[in-house]
Copies of this chain bind each other. A is one copy, B any other.
Amino acid sequence: MANQGDMVRDCMSDRIRRLLSERILTGVYEPGHRLVELKIAKELNTSQGPVREAFRELEALGLVEVEPYKGTRVRRLSERDLQEAFEARAVIEQYAAELAAPRLRGNTAELRRQVAAIYKAANSGDIDYYATEDLPFHRRIVELSGNSILVRFWDALQFEVRTRILLSRNKVNLHESHQFHQRIVDALDEGNGKLAGELLREHITNFAEVLGAEADARDAASKSVIGKAAVEAHLT
């Protein structure tokens, strides 16, 4: 699958971007964390320029916010941001399923393997482990839509999606989720994209709602954007 075109760019600014991106996504830098150009430049034995470029790219990806002459910080997500992200994700996946269904009819062995892995993860009760099996399944469906732009959009939502998951730890009913996956694959196997799409939408919306309710309770108490709460949640 990997060909010469996959050659990753590798100038300093790209490596910096990848490193920072990972640190943000895994919560090493929590939301609101201030990123200082020269500090990072010194840490990575480089200079200010490449770090600046990396910041700009991260900004375009929605991971950080940049204010001129003030600085760059890890983006804080409001509950609304998370809701919108899950809504967008639901839209994308529902349509991806419809587009992918024709070519998946009677040809879902790969997806079934992934669902089995998710089931195993669900039994472990570890939501981090669960997420590492669950997300690729959803992404794969988007890939199978054959539309690379939808994949790009889906990827662009990962920061919000992961934040939501990190924030929620305990409230998800993993086995109920697993049943959804089963039904989704069954629908795809029959080539019933409409149904698969609707199930996906329901599945994702459910997930977002359960966690949203939890967030509302939390917000009522701490009355704030996610940043603060996430500071704790991210640091596992």
Contacts and interface: CB of A to CB of B under 8 A. Distances in A.
**What band does the interface of chain A fall in when counting residues whose beta carbon is under 8 Å from B?**
20 to 34
Contact of A149 (B9, B84, B99, B150): B84
Interface stretch (A85-93, A174-182, A206-214, A219-227): A85-93
Contacts of A94: 95
Contacts of A231: none
B68 A10 contact: yes
A134 B153 CA distance: 24
Contact of A60 (B57, B91, B149): B57
Contact of A147 (B52, B56, B88): B88
A88 B49 contact: no
Contact of A88 (B66, B150, B157): B150
A46 interface: no
Interface of A: 9-11, 13, 49, 52-53, 56-57, 60-61, 66-68, 84-85, 87-88, 91-92, 94-95, 99, 147-150, 153, 156-157
11 contacts: A9-B67, A9-B68, A13-B56, A49-B49, A52-B53, A56-B57, A56-B60, A60-B61, A84-B148, A149-B157, A153-B156
